[in-house]
Amino acid sequence: GAVVSQHPSRVICKSGTSVKIECRSLDFQATTMFWYRQFPKKSLMLMATSNEGSKATYEQGVEKDKFLINHASLTLSTLTVTSAHPEDSSFYICSGEPGTGYTDTQYFGPGTRLTVL
C-alpha cells in the first residue's frame, strides 16, 4: 500500500516553455503533499507543502509564481514549472502524507527528471 505515482517520469523541454508534473496517491488519501527538488549528489530540498483545497506554503527562496502548485483533490497535486530555464533542470519528487493515524510518514513518488534545453 501507500503508492504514489508521478507523470511524466522524464521530460525535455525548450527554455521558456511551461511543464506540468502530476503527482497521484493511488491507494490512500494524501491530506498533505510535498514537492522536493534534488540536484546531483545533493540532498532533497523541500520546495513547498500543500494541503488539499488550500494554497501551498513555499520554502524560502522558492518562487511561488514560477513553481505553481495545485492540490485539487486528496489524490492529486500538480507542479507547473513556468517559463522553464536550464537552471530549473533537476529531479523533482513529490510525496504524500496520509491522514489521521499515519502521520509523520511520507510516501514518495518515483520522481520526474526535467531537462530544459
Partner 1 sequence: SQKIEQNSEALNIQEGKTATLTCNYTNYSPAYLQWYRQDPGRGPVFLLLIRENEKEKRKERLKVTFDTTLKQSLFHITASQPADSATYLCALGESSGGYQKVTFGIGTKLQVIP
As measured in angstroms, the least distance from the Cβ of 43 to partner 1 is 4
* Chain residues in the site for partner 1 (CB under 8 A): 4, 6, 32, 34, 41-46, 49, 57, 91, 93, 95, 97, 103-111, 113
CB-CB contact of 13 with 19 (8 Å): yes
DSSP class of residue 87 equals: G
Closer residue to partner 1, CB minimum distance, 42 or 55: 42
As measured in angstroms, the least distance from the Cβ of 28 to partner 1 is 13
Q: How many whole angstroms separate alpha carbon 112 and alpha carbon 20?
A: 10
Closer residue to partner 1, CB minimum distance, 80 or 91: 91
As measured in angstroms, the least distance from the Cβ of 49 to partner 1 is 6
Closer residue to partner 1, CB minimum distance, 67 or 92: 92
Task: Give the burial class of 79: count Cβ atoms within 10 A of its Cβ; 0-12 exposed, 13-18 middle, 19 or more buried.
Answer: buried
CA 93, 84, 8, 41 dihedral sign is negative
